[in-house]
Amino acid sequence: MGRELDADVRALISANEANWDERTPIHVASGFYGVDGSRDPEQWFADFEWTDLGELTGRDVVHLQCHLGTETVVLARRGARVTGLDISEASVREARRLAREAGVDVTYVKADVHDAVEALGRARFDVVYTGKGAVCYLPDLSVWAKVVADLLRPGGALYVVEFHPLLNALGVVPPSNGRDELLIRNDYLSRGHAVERDATYTYTDGPALTSATVSYEWMHGIGELTTAVVDAGLRIERLRETDRLPWPRRPSMQPAEGGWFRLPQTEPRIPLMYALLARKPVNTQG
């Protein structure tokens, strides 16, 4: 335990853990993730992800903050030996059940991502995959990036596919004035401390949470992310920005390629997600 995070930050992470434990059964019951078979899990991936990841057969992949394992099982089906890691015991339990029922071989570990090196027995991986709602739960990207670097073999790759900080900066949906306008309402850059969110209702459909109704998020701009990754000794090979999202976050969004969604043509063309590919140099020590 204790990779350079203060006790007060650890307390916020514990609050998030309780919140995710309580969200989990709601997410399993919801059609949002489609774990009942109503959505092909391949649809959670953009076409460019497979280009960037390359051949996965026989490669060791760890999926950090894997939640129900929706994406984790797809990585395994593509031929990788996959480990999913998540802080939520309830999520890991459901992910194990769902993988078993789907006949997919995945190892799941319950741990805080900041403790991943120890929790995974100092194993090394060819790919660290994460994102789609993960980075906002990381208080300090420089601490996280060092964990990622320690998880990678020399030559291994970090792949982060994440909601763009510009998307997070846009106003709440639906907006209070009832019009679906793109307005900057939230921080793009970090203020260095957590943003407290009322998480009484999660982002899927379903009932209200009753006890762990608060979650904590940290905003991180693209510059902060790339700097943390470079400072951890990784080399950035690609940084994509895309105007597509895997689900219609705003009511006005329209169907796009691969079952994804984008804003109407009449709206400004802005990035809604990014994908960062970074590699640990082959000739690195450790």
Ligand X SMILES: C[S@@+](CC[C@H](N)C(=O)[O-])C[C@H]1O[C@@H](n2cnc3c(N)ncnc32)[C@H](O)[C@@H]1O
132 near ligand X (CB under 6 A)? yes
Q: Which of 169, 159, 202, 146 is nearest to 27 (CA)?
A: 202
- Closer to ligand X by CB, 15 or 278: give it: 15
Instruction: Indicate which single residue of 83, 91, 168, 226 sits in contact with ligand X (rule: CB under 6 A).
Output: 91
The span from the CA of 250 to the CA of 235, in Å, is 34
- Closer to ligand X by CB, 107 or 284: give it: 107
The answer for residues whose C-beta is within 8 angstroms of residue 267's C-beta and 6 or more apart is 182, 252
Alpha helices (H) along 195-261: 222-231
The least distance separating ligand X from the CB of residue 112, rounded to whole angstroms, comes to: 4
- Closer to ligand X by CB, 132 or 250: give it: 132
The least distance separating ligand X from the CB of residue 68, rounded to whole angstroms, comes to: 6
Cβ neighbours around 143 below 10 Å, total: 17
Contact region with ligand X (CB under 6 A), list: 128-136, 171-179, 251-259, 265-273: 128-136
Q: What angle do CA 168, 85, 271 make, to 5 degrees?
A: 25
Paired residues of 242 in beta bridges: 273
The least distance separating ligand X from the CB of residue 22, rounded to whole angstroms, comes to: 11
- Closer to ligand X by CB, 47 or 181: give it: 47
16 near ligand X (CB under 6 A)? yes
The span from the CA of 21 to the CA of 158, in Å, is 27
* H helix or E strand, kind and range, residue 254: strand 254-255
Q: What angle do CA 188, 170, 46 make, to 5 degrees?
A: 90
**Binders in 18-57 for ligand X, by CB under 6 A:** 20
260 near ligand X (CB under 6 A)? no
Find out whether 258 and 265 touch, Cβ atoms under 8 Å. Answer: no
276 near ligand X (CB under 6 A)? no
- Closer to ligand X by CB, 34 or 179: give it: 34
Pairing of strands 152-163, 125-131: parallel
113 near ligand X (CB under 6 A)? yes
- Closer to ligand X by CB, 133 or 281: give it: 133
65 near ligand X (CB under 6 A)? yes
The least distance separating ligand X from the CB of residue 109, rounded to whole angstroms, comes to: 10
Q: Given the rule CB under 6 A, which residues bind ligand X?
A: 13, 16, 20, 65, 67-68, 70-71, 86-88, 91, 112-113, 132-134, 137
